[in-house]
Amino acid sequence: MRNIKPIIDPSRPKVYIETYGCQMNVNDSEVILSILQEEGYALTESMDEADVILANTCSIRDNAEQRIWGRIDQFKLQKRKRDGVIIGIVGCMAERLKDKLLEAVDLVAGPDSYRSLPELLRAIRPDNPQINVLLSHEETYAEISPVRLDKNGVSAFISIMRGCNNVCSYCVVPYTRGAERSREPQSILREAQEIYANGYKEVTLLGQNVDSYFWKDKENPANNVNFAQLLEMVAKISPELRVRFSTSHPKDISDEVIYTMAMYDNICKHIHLPVQSGSSIMLEKMRRKYNREWYLERVKKIRSVIPDCGITTDVIAGFCGETEQDHKDTLTLMEEVVFDSAFMFAYSERPGTLASRKYPDDIPYETKTKRLNEIIELQGRMSLKSNEKEVGRRLKVLVEGPSKRNPDELCGRAGNYKMCVFPSRGEKAGDYCEVEVTSVTPATLLCKRID
Ligand code: 5AD
Ligand code: SF4
């Protein structure tokens, strides 16, 4: 069996990688490490002994980028301590800022250029930094087996597609990750089987918009694969292997996907369905291509087929021109849906996006913050309400490890993605336990054992 864990070898040159942003970036770091291990590098978890220091970066909001500039200053201190240390910025911020970053570091590589990293590293000289930010229409790193960077060997991520064709007006991703392309299904299946053979119990299929996954077989259209079919193929690997996916787009999530979820016990009953706003006027300006009613209908459909399906979301406060009424529409939608949890953000204008060109970023900082705080406060109440419904329910939990607060207790997620805490009987990460929910907090289900 192929080794999918990092090589730790003091005799090899060492690479240190910090990852920012989304799960796709985490998976990209695993691809990068795979490429660099082939080139003779080994991983180090200490920046102080690294020959190459990489930051895999995120551009989604301005504060994500500001953080990286701070880290670059820290990395540079290593250069003063040791000769020959290479500093590289890869990922979305590399793609967005290109030459501007090249003034500060030795290496700049965008999300589609990781195969050229060995060549770039070899070409670097003190006064000759290297850059590759070409975007591709084909690159999916399909046959590269990522070196797994997770700590517990239970849950792994598989990128099934790259890029995004949606051009939501606020979003920088289409510019940093390029056009959408789907990965060949057999390579996805092979990777999922490899993960399972290595003892993993959960895979999450990743894409900016998994519902638009589509593999076109050039020779035989009967072999075309859509997302629902891919999900089923992965679910069939083993009933012991849980399958998750992220992110779904409200405009694209199909009935076929919802029915496929319902058919297989090992497809987790959780959908991350970013709403962004509850106001149809804002949704139109955001170019989300659905309105409030459409979103609510999709939620209704999901719950009619899978009554206890976990639904989580993303919300943006203070988008361009957002009125008090638009904001209230977001709050009432949140109250109507009762999301299990949400990622909530203040709008951050990104240079080059449609919104930055077309609409002034006109909501004052104080108003954005006030609205965001109202959204966060409401979601806290909704999370509690959603968790309270779980009291008395029986759930199957995949153990992640000991609970942080009490070593005699275990923690892990139920299929609906809720975090459960319950008494340990010596089980380890990767075991399944049956529990019953006895009480809740907004973030956790407290459970007793029933197995
Ligand atoms: N400002 C604030 N939040 C944003 N997101 C994407 N772009 C922006 C932006 N410019 C949020 C969206 C998306 C999540 C990944 O990040 O809610 O779903
Ligand atoms: Fe991920 Fe988007 Fe950040 Fe890129 S900009 S790392 S795609 S969250």
Probe target for ligand 2 pocket from 58, 95, 170, with the most ligand atoms within 8 Å of CB: 58
Residues 21-43, mean pLDDT to the nearest whole number: 97
Residues 27-38, mean pLDDT to the nearest whole number: 97
- CB-based burial label for 451 (10 Å; 0-12, 13-18, 19+): exposed
Read off the pLDDT of residues 214-230 as tens digits, 9 standing for 90 and up: 999 999 999 999 999 99
Band (pLDDT 50/70/90 cuts) for residue 4 is: confident
Q: Do 264 and 330 share a domain, yes or no?
A: no
Q: Compute, in degrees rounded to 10, the torsion defined by CA atoms 261, 232, 248, 393.
A: 30
* Number of separate domains in the chain: 4
pLDDT at 68: 97
- Measured from the alpha carbon of residue 173, the closest ligand is 2
With 80 as the cut, is the pLDDT of residue 328 above it?
Answer: yes
156 CA → ligand 2 middle, Å: 18
DSSP 243-306: EEEE---TTT--HHHHHHHHH-TTB-SEEE---B-S-HHHHHHTT-S--HHHHHHHHHHHHHHS
Q: Which atom of ligand 2 is nearest to the CA of 56?
A: 6
Residues 42-54, mean pLDDT to the nearest whole number: 96
pLDDT at 151: 86
Is residue 170 one of the residues assigned to a domain?
A: yes
Residue 31 belongs to domain spanning: 14-132
Residues 105-111, mean pLDDT to the nearest whole number: 98
| Ligand 1 pocket residues where CB is under 6 Å | 60-61, 170-171, 274, 276, 314, 316, 345, 347-348, 350
Is residue 167 one of the residues assigned to a domain?
A: yes
Band (pLDDT 50/70/90 cuts) for residue 1 is: low
Q: How far apart are CA 309 and CA 416, in angstroms?
A: 6
Q: How far apart are CA 203 and CA 191, in angstroms?
A: 10
Which of 84, 101, 132 is a domain's end point?
Answer: 132
**Is 277 within 8 Å of 330 (Cβ atoms)?**
yes
pLDDT at 451: 86
pLDDT at 2: 67
Residue 342: give its domain's CATH number.
Answer: 3.30.750.200
Residue 428: give its domain's CATH number.
Answer: 2.40.50.140
| Ligand 2 pocket residues where CB is under 6 Å | 21-22, 24-25, 58-60, 91-92, 172-173, 176-177
pLDDT at 8: 87
247 CA → ligand 1 middle, Å: 13
Probe target for ligand 1 pocket from 63, 66, 164, 170, with the most ligand atoms within 8 Å of CB: 170
**Prediction pTM value:** 0.96
Read off the pLDDT of residues 354-364 as tens digits, 9 standing for 90 and up: 999 999 999 99
Q: Do 118 and 72 share a domain, yes or no?
A: yes
Is residue 176 one of the residues assigned to a domain?
A: yes
Q: Do 237 and 308 share a domain, yes or no?
A: no
14 CA → ligand 1 middle, Å: 34
Residue 410 sits at the vertex; the CA angle it makes with 421 and 23, to the nearest 5 degrees, is 80
Is residue 73 one of the residues assigned to a domain?
A: yes
pLDDT at 214: 98
**Is 88 within 8 Å of 52 (Cβ atoms)?**
yes
Tokens of 63: 């504060």
Give me the chain's average pLDDT, please. 97
Is residue 277 one of the residues assigned to a domain?
A: no
Q: Do 302 and 373 share a domain, yes or no?
A: yes
Residue 163: give its domain's CATH number.
Answer: 3.30.750.210
DSSP β-bridge partners for residue 108: 89, 131
Q: Do 161 and 74 share a domain, yes or no?
A: no
